[in-house]
Structure 1
Amino acid sequence: MSYRLYARPVPPFADLDTEPDGQLFNWVLLDASGDVQAQGTGDTRAHIEQTLGQNALEHVRLIGLIPGDEALFCFANIPAKQERYIRQALPFAVEEQLAQDVESMHLALGGRGNEGFRVAAIDRQRMASWMALFRDWDHVRLEAIFPDASLLPVNDQDWSICLDGTSALLASRQGEWLKMQIANLEIFSDTLAAPSEDEVVAEVRVAVFGTQQELDHQKPLLTSLSNSRRLVVSHQTLELMPLELLAHAHHHHYCQPVNLCQGGFAISNENGGAWRPWRPVIAIAGLWFVLQLGVELGLGFYHQAKAEDLNAQAMSVYRDAFPQDTRTHAGNVKNVLLGELRVASQDGPREDFLALMKRTGQQYSMLPANDSVQFNSINYSRARGELVVDLRADDYSKLSALRTGLNQQGLDANIGSVVNEASGARGRLTISGG
Structure 2
Amino acid sequence: MTEKLVIRVGQSHQNPIHWLIYSSSDEQIIASGELDNAEQLAQLSDKAVSRDVSLLLSASQVQLKRVPLPTKWNRKLEQALPFMLEEQIACDVDELFIAIGQPTLDGEQHCIDVAICNKQWLKDWLSVFNELDIELTRVVPDALLLPEQQDNGLSMIELGQQWLCRLGQWHISAIEKSWGADYLYALQPSKIVHYSPAEGIPDVAPKEAKESEYELPLALFAKHLNSTSFNLRQGVFAAKKKQPQWWRDWRSGLLAASITIGCFVIVKGAQLVMLQTQADELKAQAVATYQQAFPGKVVRPHLLKKQIEGELAGLGNTEHGGFLELTNHLVAVYGEVEDFTPETLRYDRRRNELRIRARASGFQVFGQVKAVLEQRGLTVQQGSLNNDGDVVIGEIRLRGDS
Q: 2:147 is aligned with what amino acid?
A: P
Matched, 1:127 2:122: yes
Matched, 1:236 2:210: yes
Q: What is the number of residues matched between the two proteins?
A: 237
**For 2:190, which of 194, 198, 204 is the aligned residue?**
204
**Cα distance in structure 1, aligned partners of 2:219 and 2:34:** 15
Q: In terms of Rg, which structure is larger?
A: 2
**For 2:223, which of 248, 262, 267 is the aligned residue?**
248
8 Å contact from structure 2 (residues 29, 219) kept in 1: no
SS of the aligned residue for 1:174 comes to coil
**Alpha-carbon spacing, 1:4–1:260, altered in 2? closer, same or farther (3 Å):** same
Q: 1:65 is aligned with what amino acid?
A: L
Name the counterpart of 2:271. Answer: none
CA deviations on 1:274-310 (whole Å, 9 max, x unpaired) are 99xxxxxxxxxxxxxxxxxxxxxxxxxxxxxxxxxxx
Name the counterpart of 2:159. Answer: 164
Matches within 5 A, 1:70-85: 70-81=61-72, 83-85=74-76
Name the counterpart of 1:259. Answer: 231
**Cα distance in structure 1, aligned partners of 2:26 and 2:131:** 24
**Alpha-carbon spacing, 1:24–1:188, altered in 2? closer, same or farther (3 Å):** closer
8 Å contact from structure 2 (residues 24, 223) kept in 1: no
Cα deviation, residue 120, structure 1: 0.8
Matched, 1:110 2:101: yes
**For 2:31, which of 33, 39, 43 is the aligned residue?**
39
Cα deviation, residue 128, structure 1: 0.8
**Cα distance in structure 1, aligned partners of 2:245 and 2:76:** 32
Cα deviation, residue 34, structure 1: 6.5
**Alpha-carbon spacing, 1:123–1:154, altered in 2? closer, same or farther (3 Å):** same
**Alpha-carbon spacing, 1:84–1:34, altered in 2? closer, same or farther (3 Å):** farther
Name the counterpart of 1:13. Answer: 13
CA deviations on 1:378-434 (whole Å, 9 max, x unpaired) are xxxxxxxxxxxxxxxxxxxxxxxxxxxxxxxxxxxxxxxxxxxxxxxxxxxxxxxxx
Name the counterpart of 2:57. Answer: 66
**For 1:190, which of 185, 192, 207 is the aligned residue?**
185
SS of the aligned residue for 1:33 comes to coil
Cα deviation, residue 154, structure 1: 1.7
Matched, 1:268 2:263: no
**Cα distance in structure 2, aligned partners of 1:75 and 1:51:** 37
Matched, 1:27 2:19: yes
SS of the aligned residue for 1:128 comes to helix
**Cα distance in structure 1, aligned partners of 2:131 and 2:30:** 21
8 Å contact from structure 2 (residues 55, 139) kept in 1: yes
**Cα distance in structure 2, aligned partners of 1:258 and 1:183:** 31
Structure 1, unmatched stretches of 5+, are 15-22, 194-202, 276-434
**Cα distance in structure 2, aligned partners of 1:128 and 1:12:** 13
8 Å contact from structure 2 (residues 5, 47) kept in 1: no
Structure 2, unmatched stretches of 5+, are 248-402
**Cα distance in structure 1, aligned partners of 2:90 and 2:229:** 22
**Cα distance in structure 1, aligned partners of 2:71 and 2:244:** 34
Give the structure-2-normalised TM-score: 0.53
Cα deviation, residue 264, structure 1: 1.1
Q: 1:4 is aligned with what amino acid?
A: K
**Alpha-carbon spacing, 1:265–1:273, altered in 2? closer, same or farther (3 Å):** same
Cα deviation, residue 234, structure 1: 0.9
Question: What's the C-alpha RMSD, in Å, of the aligned pairs?
Answer: 2.8
SS of the aligned residue for 2:147 comes to coil
**Cα distance in structure 2, aligned partners of 1:273 and 1:167:** 39
